[in-house]
Chain A
């Protein structure tokens, strides 16, 4: 049977990808950020997942205002790297796992989550930066990836509670997949940041650290945060944190925290990162 072993949460700041691709990761500014992932790279290499289920958001790359799916599940064989205006990032193409992805689509839809099934999708920094942070710069990614693309740009995004419950449905689907597979779930985005307008540069370390505490110990409390509180307290783009709750919902209620990292800033954003293991 497939088994969900652990969850990883991390910010997905585009400048991190640009720093890595541009050979700037040794500069003191960026070394401070990448240092928080040294342990994580070793941990993931030892974890040897067959599949990473990766929750992220598209930034007007694969989807525009023409079609705005709330939950878009990538069921394709592979996902090309998007050109975000500077040419595609020089990273390997992302290989999917259609068998498990379609199984999750069917299972979650019958569980009353109205998923959008996507057979053709380019993936942008929202997906590739977390992979780079957790793996480095390999020739090919060492596992298959199932992308779950969540709308957090057009207001309103799904509620934190809905995300958490979807995580539980994803877990049920993974648990019922007959093939032996090692699965790790990533929840990405956040932490506090605002990219737009006169309030750009907003950071709330107190909110972020409280979020990290509760994320481990009392995630249900986080599912009750209304959207306006995210925008006010974590910045207009901090609302991406609802995506972390999908990963948390999929994990056991009780988890073991094996790594925690927080730093400000990476470009405009507070970087937060957790690794949580299931214990059963």
Chain B
């Protein structure tokens, strides 16, 4: 099958069928954090919670969750609307997460947004990111 055109968009994981299938348990773990009792159980002992309730997570997914590797979770099939629930459990907002995923400080990221956000020029294609190194 030919690669989808959206795979050329830099820094973006489109949540398509292959990612949804791969990330099913990772995302369903995040979904479980909608309940306060689960948030408490997870925070009390994170590895135990994952092993008991989500044994189908891949070792890479489990590791990315425990280490809070936000971009890695997306690469492993996570979706931001789900991983943001893990963020909320840690007290992080969408903007806090965005700063972490873009490798900025909170102040830098907030300043970029106030100045109009990340511009389209230079951010449309992977080739543009490669050429700037």
Contact = CB atoms under 8 A, between A and B. Distances in A.
Question: What is the interface residue range for chain A against chain B?
Answer: 35 or more
Interface stretch (A69-77, A113-121, A202-210): A202-210
B5 interface: yes
Contacts of B13: 196-197
Interface in B26-60: 27-28, 30-31, 33-34, 36, 39
A133 to B, nearest CB: 18
Nearest to B13: A197
Interface in B79-104: 79-82, 84-85, 88-89, 93-95, 97-98, 101-103
Interface residues of B, number: 52
B67 interface: no
Interface of A: 14-15, 18, 59-61, 64-66, 83-86, 153-156, 192, 194-207, 227-228, 231-233, 236-237, 264-265, 267-268, 270
A205 B12 CA distance: 19
Given A231-B9, A231-B14, A196 B101 contact: yes
- Give the 5 A-B residue pairs with the shortest CB-CB distance, closest first: A203-B117, A199-B11, A198-B11, A85-B88, A196-B80
A199 B10 contact: yes
Given A60-B82, A83-B34, A199-B123, A228 B88 contact: no
9 contacts: A64-B31, A153-B79, A194-B12, A196-B101, A197-B74, A199-B9, A199-B123, A201-B98, A264-B117
A207 B14 contact: no
Contacts of A264: 113, 116-117
Contacts of B11: 197-200
